[in-house]
């Protein structure tokens, strides 16, 4: 995860904290996805995060010093799904 653009990680960290997802916080803290179970945790989290971003964007919530938008969620999901596929867990993203 070290090659992933920092704002992607920061958005995920923000929402992992907001949604109180300890498992995702731990994965982000160690900066790697090491098992299929961790890949599933991230993918499930992305769904929750996208739902929350949709709500937050309507309320003009500020994340990383600017209002969050659904396009931000799409970027995060695209990057993370590609990353998970590269790790060999592509079968989980279908």
Range of the domain at 75: 6-92
Domain annotation covers residue 43:
yes
The model carries a pTM of: 0.93
Q: Which residues pair with 62 in a beta bridge?
A: 67
Grouping H, G, I as helix, E, B as strand and the rest as coil, residue 54 is helix
Which single residue is written with the structure tokens 């790697």?
32
Q: Is residue 1 part of a domain?
A: no
Total domain count, the chain? 1
Residue 16, Cβ density class (10 Å: 0-12 exposed, 13-18 middle, ≥19 buried):
buried
pLDDT per residue over 50-71, tens digit each?
Answer: 999 999 999 999 999 999 999 9
Model pLDDT for residues 66-93, shown as the tens digit of each residue: 999 999 999 999 999 999 999 999 999 8
């Amino acid at each position: 995860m070290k090659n992933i653009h920092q704002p992607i990680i920061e958005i995920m960290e923000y929402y992992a904290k907001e949604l109180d997802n300890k498992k995702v916080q731990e994965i982000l803290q160690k900066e790697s996805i090491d098992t299929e179970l961790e890949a599933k945790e991230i993918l499930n989290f992305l769904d929750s995060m996208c739902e929350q971003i949709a709500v937050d964007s309507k309320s003009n919530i500020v994340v990383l010093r600017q209002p969050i938008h659904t396009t931000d969620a799409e970027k995060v999901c695209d990057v993370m799904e590609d990353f998970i596929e590269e790790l060999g867990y592509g079968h989980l993203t279908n």
